Amino acid sequence: MPVFTAPDFDNHEQVVFGSDAETGLRCIVAIHNTALGPALGGCRMRDYATEDDALTDALRLSRGMTYKAAIAGIPYGGGKAVILGDPAVVKTPRLLRAFGRFIDSLGGRYITAEDVGTTVGDMDIVRQKTAYARGISDGSGNPSPATAYGVYMAIRAAVQYGMGRTDLSGIRIAVQGLGNVGYALCRFLNEEGARLFVADIRPETVNRAVDEFGAEAVPPDQILGLEVDVFSPCALGAVINDFTIGMLKAGIIAGGANNQLAEPRHGEELNRRRILYAPDYVANAGGVIDVASEGPGYSQEKVLHRVEAIGQTMKEIFIRAEAEKLPTSTVADRMAEDIIHKAGAETIAA
């Protein structure tokens, strides 16, 4: 399994493979960049088809975390952990404690938190073996509400910029994925009067959204091609790819999923098609802002106030993209890279 020649290797500072024979732990930690501070990023647990798939996920997600932390203005770099295995089958307290020991061995270069396949309760167990775990139950807790609130701010900014509307009343929004973030997002959107279309692989969750928010249920294989104003991907990544991009009928894409573009060129194609794209790592930065705020004096109210700035950042990206005739994804990357490079230059000078 090559690392340096892997397609998604992006001059990562460190990629570490960990295992524990007694518990069956197999994990990968990718530390992308620490110019702004120690790497911060969640731990994802999935039954990956191959080890290469797990490595790809770790590399892509850790890079995204670097850019996300930079543009969110928090003093952290980007990292990500992945644990190989079906969480419903192999996840145990012993395995999580082994993972905690592994994270502790990195000496604070990487700080973990929950992600897909892990929970706040899991982080409580990991924290038993390392101080480098965030989002624990007596700390900031579940970051999903903050993530959802940031996506909500991004959607409002996109609708205002792209449609000239200052509210979401009657705006048709298709939400793909009703996990912790997607479901919380629906609550925010419903409160402002948006018309919701929802899809998820779990029928019981869809039914709950229909009952609670008056949403319209849509088969998962049809949600992406609906005639709506906003498509909000809140499931797994790479949803915008060669196969799906021609199906899109929404004028705006703004969601909580990471790495929504399968490749950078898909951002260029969205721009060519005049689809306004809210870059994912800007829109979903509320969770990392929440986790980064954990500690003495933590206040969810203060966190949500900081998360509101995502809307203004998004507007700046839209304005600059139009002025420079560039994809919004390219503009966001350049803004983040400017911050990272400046920090790196200051470190070298010191």
Task: Look up the CATH number of the domain holding residue 259.
Answer: 3.40.50.720
Rounded to an integer, the average pLDDT of 51-67 is: 96
Section 239-266 average pLDDT: 96
Task: Give the pLDDT confidence score for residue 347 in this predicted structure.
Answer: 54
The arithmetic mean of pLDDT across residues 146-154, rounded, is 98
309 domain-assigned: yes
Catalytic residue among 68, 80, 91, 342: 80
pLDDT band at 70, cuts 50/70/90? very high
User: Domain check: are 85 and 215 in the same one?
Assistant: no
Parallel, antiparallel, or unpaired: how do β-strands 39-40 and 25-33 relate?
A: unpaired
Helices 309-324 & 300-307, crossing angle to 10 degrees? 10
d(CA 67, CA 82): 19
In whole numbers, what is the pLDDT of the chain averaged over residues?
A: 96
Burial class (CB in 10 A: 0-12, 13-18, 19+), 296: exposed
Distance CA 331, CA 326 (A): 7
162 with 116, same domain: the answer is no
pLDDT mean over 131-137: 96
For the chain, the distance separating the N- and C-terminal CA atoms, rounded to the nearest angstrom, is: 37
Cα separation of 334 and 337, whole Å?
5
Q: Are residues 108 and 184 in the same domain?
A: no
Do both 154 and 192 map to the same domain? yes
Nearest to 32 by CA among 1, 71, 74, 68: 68
* Token pair belonging to 289: 């802002």
Beta bridge partners of 45: 83
Q: Is there a single domain that holds both residue 291 and residue 319?
A: yes
Query: Among candidates 89, 78, 90, 3, which has minimal Cα distance to 42?
Result: 78
Looking at the structure, do residues 57 and 197 belong to the same domain, yes or no? no
Please indicate, yes or no, whether residues 316 and 242 belong to a single structural domain of this protein. yes
Does any domain span residue 257? Answer: yes
Q: DSSP labels for 49-63?
A: SSHHHHHHHHHHHHH
Mean pLDDT of 186-194: 98
Instruction: Please give the average per-residue pLDDT across 224-251, as a whole number.
Output: 96
Domain range spanning residue 215? 144-337
Distance CA 276, CA 258 (A): 17
Q: What is the pTM of this model?
A: 0.93
Q: Phi first, then psi: what are they for 171, rounded to 5°?
A: -70, 130
Provide the domain count of the chain: 2
- Domain contains 37: yes
Alpha-carbon gap, residue 160 to 28, rounded angstroms: 41
pLDDT at 59 over 60: yes
pLDDT of 349 above 60: no
Q: Judge whether residue 317 has pLDDT over 90.
A: yes
Label residue 350 by pLDDT band (50, 70, 90): very low
277 found inside a domain: yes
| Closest-CA residue to 313 (of 283, 275, 280, 277) | 283
User: What's the pLDDT score for residue 302?
Assistant: 95
Judge if 268 and 166 occupy the same domain: yes
pLDDT in the model for residue 1: 75
Q: What percent of the chain has pLDDT over 70?
A: 98
pLDDT range class, residue 346, cuts 50, 70, 90: low
Nearest to 87 by CA among 112, 115, 107: 115
Numbers of helices and strands, H then E, in the chain: 13, 12
Whether 195 and 251 have beta carbons less than 8 Å apart is answered as no
Angle at 235 between CA 232 and CA 236, to 5 degrees: 120
Confirm whether 220 is domain-assigned: yes
Examine the domain organization and report whether 95 and 215 are in the same domain. Answer: no
- Any domain includes 241: yes
For residue 139, what pLDDT band results from cuts at 50, 70 and 90?
confident
The answer to whether 41 touches 49, Cβ cutoff 8 Å, is: no
Q: What is the mean pLDDT of the segment spanning 240-254?
A: 97
Q: Is residue 6 included in any domain, yes or no?
A: no
- pLDDT at position 344: 73
Same domain, 331 and 289: yes
Is 80 a catalytic site residue? Answer: yes
pLDDT at 312 over 60: yes
Mean pLDDT of 125-153: 95
- In this structure, the answer to whether residues 172 and 113 fall within a common structural domain is no
Q: Which range in 126-135, 140-149, 335-344 is most confidently predicted, on average pLDDT?
A: 126-135
Check which CATH number belongs to the domain holding 39 and give it. Answer: 3.40.50.10860
Q: Clarify whether residues 229 and 322 are in a common domain.
A: yes
pLDDT over 50 at 32, yes or no? yes
Residue 26 lies in a domain: yes
**Closest Cα to residue 31, out of 3, 51, 12?**
12
